[in-house]
Structure 1
Amino acid sequence: MTKVIAILNQKGGVGKTTIAANIGVSIAKRGHSVLMVDSDPQGSLRDWSEADEGEGLTVIGLDRETLAKDIESVKAPYDFVIIDGRAKAEKMAGAAIRAADLVLIPVAPSALDIWGASDITEAIAARHEVTEGKPATRFIINAATKNTKLIEEIRPATQESGFNPLNTVLYSREIYKQTMGDGLTVHSAKNADALEEIENLTTEIMEILNNES
């Protein structure tokens, strides 16, 4: 059965596209078929794919409010579908939540950023009331700075929202920007630290989905 992962945050510039691309390649390298869905009319994920064929992943654009229905019609041949969420689009976010088995919410290591994701967390909480707690939901702490206490300090803020953060933290690294600009991911850059982060992140994601099955 196809598993759908939605990477959502109503705020722009939080790393949704970068995370989507990197975990998509990571999952594909583990032997799974992956469909990438760009739900933003600006097409950042599609631009990434065109730059260097997107590391061989299939990337399509589905940027209408019929997203949940549209994904149902295309997901069957794939093991995983990854939705790169659109910022500032409440109805699109709602459609992605309905389609998803797992929602990931990237946030900077700041309580303000956690609180700023309340539109998404409230929409998911409302969905949970009629779906027995589905989709599974986790925060991803992204663009963190090494040797900072902020990471541990914001974990209580995520829990106040009702959703826990993943254990894996993604740190601020130029290699993420460099590879995305070339239509690649950290898998091509051979950057050991960044690659370890992405692989650990992917392993956590797969474990959550396996537990939800």
Structure 2
Amino acid sequence: MIISLLNQKGGVGKTTLAVSLAGQLTQLGSRVLLIDADPQGSALDWAAAREGEPLFPVVGLPRPTVHKEIQGFVGDYDHIVIDGAPRVTDLARSVIMASDVVVIPVQPSPYDIWSAEEVVGLVNEGAIYKEKLKSCFVINRKIVNTAIGRDVKEALANYDLSILDVTVGQRVVFAEAVASGLVVSEVAPKSNAATEVKAFANELLKF
């Protein structure tokens, strides 16, 4: 399965989710490749911060030819996770065309909900050419017990796109793991963050 994390708005936590998802799929026994399609190279920076053996390989492909170049990797991996780029429309379109599932991370804020229109439009455009393309929202960086956290699913329903049941909270352990080139299950395997990432991966595999 080729799963991309994509949002035209920056700062939604897509790289952290992409890294976390790739780590969880690896720990489930799958052969996983993470493609960094963001010119900022945040996933590559994460990989460079890691000491010792990599948990999974990370390759940089910040080019609008991802959908073509990815074919050279498909046979070697069970899953490929793509960390997409914000604000680069041609690259986003290429990532969408490369994907089986496009996951749109959205923070529970009005700005994120309003700005989702652009990426939803790109996904709907891609679905015209790729009939089996699946897409969904995942609520990320949710602050527990806040009204906006509870109401965001209702607001996103206006986009007529699937919304994953799992939500991922805003937790310090994600930043601590990223700084060391690790994933949360390595830093705090029994934490709420690790549980949420596991649920996120499991729901996607059934999507």
Category of TM-score, reference length = shorter chain:
over 0.9
- d(CA) in 2 for partners of 1:52, 1:179: 10
Matches within 5 A, 1:54-73: 55-73=54-72
Q: Does 1:21 align with 2:19?
A: yes
Cross-structure match for 2:137: 139
How far the C-alpha of 1:40 sits from its partner, in A, is: 1.5
- d(CA) in 2 for partners of 1:164, 1:155: 10
Question: Over residues 109-152 of structure 1, what are the superposed CA-to-partner deviations in whole Å (9 max), with x where a residue is unaligned?
Answer: 123312202111001112223433x3211111111111123233
Residues 35 and 82 of structure 1 are in contact (CA less than 8 Å); yes or no, is this contact kept in structure 2? yes
- d(CA) in 2 for partners of 1:27, 1:95: 23
Matches within 5 A, 1:62-101: 62-101=61-100
> Where does the alignment leave 5 or more consecutive residues of structure 2 unmatched?
none
Residues 26 and 55 of structure 2 are in contact (CA less than 8 Å); yes or no, is this contact kept in structure 1? no
Cross-structure match for 1:173: 171
Q: Does 1:104 align with 2:103?
A: yes
SS at match of 2:76: coil
Cross-structure match for 2:125: 126
> Where does the alignment leave 5 or more consecutive residues of structure 1 unmatched?
209-213
Superposition TM-score, scaled by structure 1 size: 0.92
Partner AA of 1:104 in structure 2: V
- d(CA) in 2 for partners of 1:112, 1:47: 28
Aligned-pair Cα RMSD in Å? 1.4
Structure 1 runs (4+) deviating above 3 angstroms are: none
Q: Does 1:30 align with 2:46?
A: no
Question: Over residues 70-117 of structure 1, what are the superposed CA-to-partner deviations in whole Å (9 max), with x where a residue is unaligned?
Answer: 111222110000000111100100001101000111111123312202
SS at match of 1:165: strand
- d(CA) in 2 for partners of 1:130, 1:94: 11
- d(CA) in 1 for partners of 2:164, 2:30: 22
Residue identity (%): 33
Whichever structure has more strand as a proportion of its residues is 2
Partner AA of 1:125 in structure 2: N
Partner AA of 1:87 in structure 2: P
